[in-house]
Structures are given as structure tokens and as C-alpha cells.
Amino acid sequence: MRINFWYISSFVISLFVIIPILTVFSSFFDNTSNYFQVLKDTFLMEYIFNSLILLVSVLILTFFIGTGSAYLVSFFNFPFSNFFKWALILSFAVPPYIYAYSLTAFFENYGTAYTILKNLFGEGNYNQSIPKFDGLLGVVLSISFSLYAYVYILARASFLYQSQNIIDLGKNLGFTKFKAFYSIILPAARPAIVAGLSLVAMETLAEFGAVDFFSINTLTTGIYNSWIAFDDLAFANQLSFFLLLFIFALFILENLSRKNAKYHFNTKAGFKQKQKIQLSGKKAFLAFSFCFLVFFLSFLFPLSQMMYWTIKFPENLIDLKILDLLMNTLYLVILSSLLLIIFGLVSNYGNRVNKNKTLNILSTLSISGYAIPGVILAVAFITFIAWFDDSVIKNLGFVSIKKVFIGSILGLVLVYFIRFYSLAYNGIKSGYEKINISVDESSYLLGYSKRKTFMNIHIPFLRNSLLFVGILVSLEIIRELPITLILRPFNFETFATTAYISASEDLLEAAAVPSLFLILIATFFIIVTSKYILRDNND
């Protein structure tokens, strides 16, 4: 094997991404416990129980909402079905923590629901009859309505490429629509749906904002608290072991479904364009109602609650330095997406031209950053830098590097990089898999260098994948909370941090303005790029 530029770059990138991930699990060796084992056992059971309940409930809900709405818009025509096709992905613009603020604002005692009832029916004590969506239930709803879009997008993409042939098969066998759905359509789309669900599962386990807002203890907040508040590394270690078990199970599940997915790709030859069934009357109304309800609950409801507050308490709008927040948010988005795309490309290409086993394993490991909750990654990063600085840099007689990495844009972007590298790497990889290796060989035969092949042939081919990766990463960074909160420099706020800080001080009304802007910017991103997210135009 020849060591070349591409090999080294891929190697270095992957190694860099792995280091902090390893720190998470290796920095847990001291035992500095503050409380008794009996209590720890109580906590441990509670955290595992909460995480499990949360995971299972969110998966069930997102499965029904995501697959249900994807099925309706892919197979049927009904009023506004073309609108819902892309409107249903707008829920991505509302992060779970903002959904949590809206739920609380609307349903709490003397909240928005109370005001509405009072204005409709006059004075009265309505508080007792308004349902309360807080605690675990609140978290489940917040996460589900924000994340079902993962399932929706992947399920819809899979439904879209199902050939008319298999639907005809069901018809010929005399299946009802429902039977055709669960015995033909659903199994064929299973790998895509499982892939969507495992994304939802990872995000659920990593969720910090909403879980913290409703003060529910999960494994993730448990690790954060025992690490940060109690310096109890031993207990944090125990918790992360369990979290790791969860994540490994998901990882394996996701990989298996990805492998299976390959068998389901249709060859162009046997593909027959599907005809959508026209619904009318009661059926059309039901399909419309379902999609509208999902759209309303996931997007219109939080959007209008935030707007209502912004109008009701306009002084918060005046106080906020919106332009600064916008520039800061965009700055992080652009810098990070560029870095992720460039390095994701280099690393993918390095893997492609070298076909080296070590490199392959290293790349696979390096993408696990996505599975580690951001809040834990951020603390691990600080711990690693502090250790490295104290035990290596200073011993070599250099000046401290802590300030270069902790509380700087550089550090912030690096941790984003570690966290979202998997999105970039896999997104670009799936694009690369569509470029036949013979294309490279022809290029070399024509006398192109590796660099020229990369620049002039691969990049134009990969344009759509790169754009898609860019959008995904941007949306993640606009919504990202824990890493930004922990690592940002002095006097640097984004929409997400401003919203969170107001909310944590019980100033939900003040949190409404930055939340509203966050939703609007993310919505703008989604609308402009919806055709790439929905992938109607490329296969």
C-alpha cells in the first residue's frame, strides 16, 4: 500500500473525530462519589426506566405519524395532498425544546388555553378541566412532533420508488387497501422506515433541551448531572455504559436495515410509474384531516403560540439584537457546513482510492459521534483539552492552549464537526456509491491525476449530495443547543441559546421571540431546499 496525501488526510480526519469520543468513555476511571450506593441504584433505575419509556413511546408515535402521513401523500390524491407533501417536513424547523415551551405556555394553569376559554365563555375556573401536558408526556409529545419527519421523509422516499407492479399484484390477489398496505407496501419500505426510526431513537436518547425543561431524568441528563453537578465520574461511567448499550443496539439495527435496503432498490427496467388513487368524499376528508392535524400540531401550533407571545409582549422584540443573533447563527452554520463538507469529501475520496482496512474501520468508528449526546461530547471536549494541556503542552514548555479551544469559535466548530461528521460522511458516501468505480479508472486512463479526477469528475457528480448534506448540517446547527451553550465565547449568543436562557429563567415570553426567529429561519431553509430534502428529482 502506498501512503499518499489522501490516505493521510482521511486518517487524520477520522482520528481527530474519534479522540473525544474515546475520552467520553475513558475519562471515567476515578471514583469520587458523593452519595451512597442505595441512592445511586434508585437513580439508575429511574434513569433507565425514563429513557426506555421515552424511547418506546416516541418510536411508536413517530412510526404512526410518519408512516401514516407518508402513505397518504404517496399513494393518494386528495385536497392539498401536494401541499402536505412538503409542508409535513416543516416540523424540522421546530426543535423539541421550543415545542416544549409551546406546550407549557398553552396548557399550563392560566395559560393560552385558559385565555381562549375565558374569552369565549366568560369568567370561570377552567384550569382544572384543561389537560396538562408536562413531565414525561410533555417530553414524548415534544420529541415526537418534532422528529417524526425523519420517518416521514425516508418512508415517503421508499414509497415513491415502489413500482406500480407490486401494487397491481395486491389488487390481483384481491387485497383490501389496508391489507395491501401492511402485507406488501409496508414490508417493502421496512428498511427505510427502520432507518428513520433509528435516527429518531438516537436523537431521542441524546435530547437535552426538552428533557431538561420538563426536568425529567434520562440517562443523558443523568450523566450530565452526575458528571457536572456531583463530579461523580464512577456513576456517570455506569450510566454511560447503559446508554452505550442502547446506542449499540440501535447502531446494529440501523446498519442491518441499511444492508437490507440494498436488496430493495428497483432496477429501472422493471419500474412502472405508480398512479396515485384519487380520493373523494368521506375518504378524501379523512386523509385531509389526518395530514392537517399532523401539520397543525407539529408546526402551526408552536408557530402560533410563539407569534401570539411575541405580539402580546412586544417589548421583548425591541430588546433583542436580532441582527447580531442572525449573523452569529449564520456564521456558525456556514463555517461548520463548509468544514464538514470539505473534510467529508476528502475522507470519502481517501477511502475510495485506498481501499485500506484500517482506514475503513477508523472511518466507521469516527461516525459514531452522532450517537453521543451533544451535551456529553461538549463536556468531554473540555475535559480532554484540559487534560492534554496540563499533562502534555505545559510539560513541553508551551503556553496554555485552553483558551484557543475552550470558549472560542474554533472549539465550538470543532465539536460541531465531531458531532455531525457522521451526517456529512454518510451523506457524501451515499452519493459516491452511485459513481461507478469504472468512472475513476477511465479517468486515470485518460491521464487525469487523482486530484483532477476528484475536482473535475467527482465533485460535479456529487453536487446534489453535497447540497443535501449542507442543508441537513445547517438545520442541525441552527437548532443545536447544548454544545453551543457550553462552548461558546464571551458575548456570543445564537437564537437557540437566547431562547433557552430566557426559558430557564422562567421568562418563556421572552424566549418566544428568538424561538420564533429560529423557526422562521429554519422554515426558510427548508422551503428553499425542499426539493433536495424530498429528493423527487434525483435517484
Partner 1 sequence: MRKISIITLIFSVIASSFAIANEVNVFNARHYKADSELYSKFTNMTGIKVNLINGKSGALEKRIISEGADSSADLYITADAGRCGAMDAKGALQGGLTSAAIKDAVPKSFRTNKWVGIAKRARIIYYSPERVTGAELSGMTYEGLADPKWKGRLVIRKSSNIYNKSLVASLIKNNGKAATAAWAEGVVANMARTPTGNDRAQIMAVAAGEADIAVANTYYLALMLSGKKGAEQQEAAKKVKAFFPNQNDRGTHMNVSCAALVKGAPNKANAVKLVEFLLTPESQEHFTNNTFEFPMIDGVSPSPLVVNNLGLDFKQDMKTKLASYGKNQAAAVEVMTAAGWK
Cα 537 to Cα 6: distance, rounded to the nearest angstrom: 32
Nearest distance, CB of residue 228 and partner 1, angstroms: 4
Q: What is the DSSP string of 196-229?
A: HHHHHHHHHHH--HHHHHTT---HHHHHHHHHHT
Cα diameter, the chain: 83
Q: Quick one: 345 or 382, whose CB is closer to partner 1?
A: 382
Task: Taking the CA atoms of 470, 61, 97 and 309 in sequence, report the sign of the dihedral they define.
Answer: positive
Q: Which of residues 245-274 bind partner 1 (CB under 8 A)?
A: none
Q: Does 234 bind partner 1 (CB under 8 A)?
A: no
Q: Does 29 bind partner 1 (CB under 8 A)?
A: no
Residue from 55, 385, 415, 496 in contact with partner 1 (CB under 8 A): 385
Q: Does 9 bind partner 1 (CB under 8 A)?
A: no
- Return left, alpha or beta for 493; rule: phi > 0 is left, psi -120 to 50 is alpha, else beta: beta
415517503: which residue's cell?
Answer: 156
Q: Does 34 bind partner 1 (CB under 8 A)?
A: yes
Q: Quick one: 290 or 313, whose CB is closer to partner 1?
A: 313
Write the binding mask 321 to 360 for partner 1: x where contact by CB under 8 A, - elsewhere.
----------------------------------------
Cα 10 to Cα 1: distance, rounded to the nearest angstrom: 15
Q: Which of residues 95-114 bind partner 1 (CB under 8 A)?
A: 108-111, 114
501512503: which residue's cell?
Answer: 3
Nearest distance, CB of residue 352 and partner 1, angstroms: 23
Residue from 59, 64, 77, 115 in contact with partner 1 (CB under 8 A): 115
354 contacts 432 by C-beta, under 8 angstroms:
no
Q: Residue 300 contacts by C-beta under 8 Å, 6 or more apart in sequence?
A: none
Residue from 28, 43, 99, 181 in contact with partner 1 (CB under 8 A): 43
Helix 96-107 and helix 135-160, axial crossing angle in degrees, nearest 10: 130
514 contacts 499 by C-beta, under 8 angstroms:
yes
Q: Residue 507 contacts by C-beta under 8 Å, 6 or more apart in sequence?
A: none
Q: Does 456 bind partner 1 (CB under 8 A)?
A: no
Q: Quick one: 132 or 264, whose CB is closer to partner 1?
A: 132
Nearest distance, CB of residue 30 and partner 1, angstroms: 14
Task: List the beta strands (DSSP E) in 293-362.
Answer: none
Task: Tell me the window of 74-82, 171-179, 244-252, 505-513 that interacts with partner 1 (CB under 8 A).
Answer: 505-513
Q: Quick one: 153 or 486, whose CB is closer to partner 1?
A: 486
Task: Taking the CA atoms of 119, 121, 122 and 124 in sequence, report the sign of the dihedral they define.
Answer: negative
C-alpha grid cell, residue 286 = 379523512
Nearest distance, CB of residue 474 and partner 1, angstroms: 19
Cα 339 to Cα 487: distance, rounded to the nearest angstrom: 18
Q: Does 13 bind partner 1 (CB under 8 A)?
A: no
Q: Of 198, 208, 143, 247, which Cα lies nearest the Cα of 376?
A: 208
Q: What is the DSSP string of 3-68?
A: --HHHHHHHHHHHHHHHHHHHHHHS-------S-HHHHHHHHHHHHHHHHHHHHHHHHHHHHHHHH
378541566: which residue's cell?
Answer: 129
Residue from 86, 175, 271, 313 in contact with partner 1 (CB under 8 A): 313
Task: Tell me the window of 14-22, 34-42, 359-367, 416-424 that interacts with partner 1 (CB under 8 A).
Answer: 34-42
C-alpha grid cell, residue 59 = 418510536
239 contacts 230 by C-beta, under 8 angstroms:
no
C-alpha grid cell, residue 372 = 453521543
Q: Quick one: 6 or 213, whose CB is closer to partner 1?
A: 213
Cα 330 to Cα 474: distance, rounded to the nearest angstrom: 9
Q: Does 529 bind partner 1 (CB under 8 A)?
A: no
Q: Does 304 bind partner 1 (CB under 8 A)?
A: no
Size of the site for partner 1 (CB under 8 A): 66
Write the binding mask 173 to 192 for partner 1: x where contact by CB under 8 A, - elsewhere.
--------------------
Nearest distance, CB of residue 408 and partner 1, angstroms: 5
Q: Does 307 bind partner 1 (CB under 8 A)?
A: no
Residue from 50, 337, 502, 515 in contact with partner 1 (CB under 8 A): 502
Residue from 77, 163, 426, 504 in contact with partner 1 (CB under 8 A): 504
Q: Does 480 bind partner 1 (CB under 8 A)?
A: no
113 contacts 312 by C-beta, under 8 angstroms:
no
Nearest distance, CB of residue 246 and partner 1, angstroms: 22
- Looking at residue 86, its amino acid is W
Nearest distance, CB of residue 449 and partner 1, angstroms: 19
Q: Does 488 bind partner 1 (CB under 8 A)?
A: yes
Angle among Cα 158, 164, 165 to the nearest 5 degrees reads: 110
- Radius of gyration in angstroms for the set of CA atoms belonging to the chain, rounded to a whole number: 25
Write the binding mask 389 to 428 for partner 1: x where contact by CB under 8 A, - elsewhere.
xx---------x-xxx-xxxxx------------------
Nearest distance, CB of residue 205 and partner 1, angstroms: 20
Q: Of 322, 316, 324, which Cα lies nearest the Cα of 505?
A: 316
Residue from 229, 318, 323, 396 in contact with partner 1 (CB under 8 A): 229
Q: Does 51 bind partner 1 (CB under 8 A)?
A: no
Task: List the beta strands (DSSP E) in 71-139.
Answer: 76-77
Q: Which residues bind partner 1 (CB under 8 A)?
A: 34-36, 38-39, 42-43, 108-111, 114-115, 118, 125, 127-128, 132, 134-135, 214-215, 217, 224-225, 227-231, 312-313, 319, 378-379, 382-383, 385-386, 389-390, 400, 402-404, 406-410, 485-486, 488-491, 493, 497, 501-502, 504-507, 509-510
